[in-house]
Amino acid sequence: MVTPAEPHILNTGLLARMQQVRSVLFRLVIVFLGTSLLAYPFASYLLGLLAQPLGMKLVMYAPMEGFLGYITVALATGFCLSAPYILYTLGRVLRAMGLSAAMTRRCTVAAGGLFLVGASFCYFIVLPVTLRFLLSFGGESLDTGIAVSRYLWLTLGLSATCGCLFELPLVVVILHTMGLLSREVLTQNRRYAMLASAVLTAILTPTPDAFTMSALLLPLIALYEVSIILVRIAEARQGPEL
């Protein structure tokens, strides 16, 4: 029989959980804004680093474009600098989902490492090849002038996309550890996974050309195969942890 005090207890518990979530989000925003402010004085230098694969100076087509470009670079750098705290918060969430402390540490370290590898893969491989391909259509009849905002949209968008796509093995391993995914499911649905990968890269690619989409699709398919291998290793060890 439900007593009159039980709804009050449930509401109190829900309010306490909402208060915790709000507190966590508030701290994340403060850390992110703080690191972004620290990065702003170096925005000009960082923008030059981002423009290196292009091999030319960026162009301002509006009075506010340079300032907004600096703001964008500072925010992106702030996100990178606040990544350790974001990963720490992610670790707490994984612990709440039932993962062990050792597995949580490995997942948080792997998440940061995989995102860094994906962003580096984009900066050093995907972006230069994509830029050479796209700029080759200019020829001698067109002068090349790349706007700051458009270039940042391409560069940061591709880097974030590659970083997120490289998290696929980690997501698969976590789902397998929680008993929600098996190697049989991955192998039997390989063709559907490839089709879903093509659709996903087409949605996430910030440019409409098929060349850039292919540059992201092939690594994603390779990461899917790596995920199957990791799950096979996990099942061979007969344990919940890698």
Q: What is the pLDDT of residues 175-234, one digit of tens each?
A: 888 888 888 888 888 899 889 888 888 887 766 777 778 888 888 999 999 999 998 888
For residue 227, the enclosing domain spans 17-135+143-237
68 pLDDT higher than 90: yes
In a domain, 10, yes or no: no
Rounded Cα distance between 205 and 96, Å, is 33
Helix runs in 58-167, H state only = 65-81, 83-96, 101-121, 127-135, 148-165
| Nearest-angstrom CA–CA distance, 34 and 25 | 14
DSSP code at position 42: G
Structure tokens at 18: 């909402």
| Confidence (pTM) | 0.80
The pLDDT of residue 35 is: 94
Share of the chain above pLDDT 70, in %: 89
User: In this structure, how many other beta carbons lie within 10 angstroms of the beta carbon of residue 169?
Assistant: 19
Query: Has residue 11 got a pLDDT over 60?
Result: no
Distance between CA atoms of 18 and 11, rounded to whole angstroms? Answer: 10
Instruction: Give residue 183's pLDDT.
Output: 86
Residue 7 included in any domain: no
Q: What is the mean pLDDT of residues 50-78?
A: 91
pLDDT range class, residue 240, cuts 50, 70, 90: very low
CA–CA separation, 131 vs 121, rounded Å? Answer: 14
Does the residue 226 lie in any domain? yes
Q: Would you say 206 and 157 are in contact if contact means Cβ atoms under 8 Å apart?
A: yes
pLDDT at residue 74, rounded to an integer:
95
- 6, 46, 125 from 128: Cα distances, Å: 61, 17, 6
**CB-based contact 169:223 (threshold 8 Å):** yes
Residue 3 lies in a domain: no
Is residue 4, in this structure, part of any structural domain at all? no
C-alpha pair distances (Å), 56 with each of 63, 77, 201:
20, 22, 28
Indicate the pLDDT class of residue 241, thresholds 50, 70 and 90: very low
User: In this predicted structure, what is the pLDDT of residue 4?
Assistant: 53
Check residue 6 and give its pLDDT: 52
Tokens 């995989």: give the residue: 114
* Single-letter residue type at 147: A
The confidence score (pLDDT) of residue 67 equals: 92
Q: What is the mean pLDDT of the chain?
A: 84
Number of domains in the chain: 1
How high is the pLDDT of residue 39?
94
Q: Does 8 reside within a domain?
A: no
pLDDT of 57 over the 90 cut: no
H-type alpha helices, 52-100:
65-81, 83-96
Structure tokens at 203: 């949605």
Has residue 2 been placed in a domain?
A: no
Half-sphere exposure of 82 (CA within 13 A, CB side): 21
Is 227 contained in some domain? yes
Burial of 51 (0-12, 13-18, 19+ CB in 10 A): middle
Give 138-165 pLDDT, tens digit per residue. Answer: 667 777 788 999 899 989 988 988 998 8
Taking 50 as the threshold, does the pLDDT of residue 242 lie above it? no
Which tokens in the block code for residue 31?
């850390």
Taking only the tens place, the pLDDT of each residue in 89-126 is 888 877 777 777 787 888 888 888 999 999 999 999 88
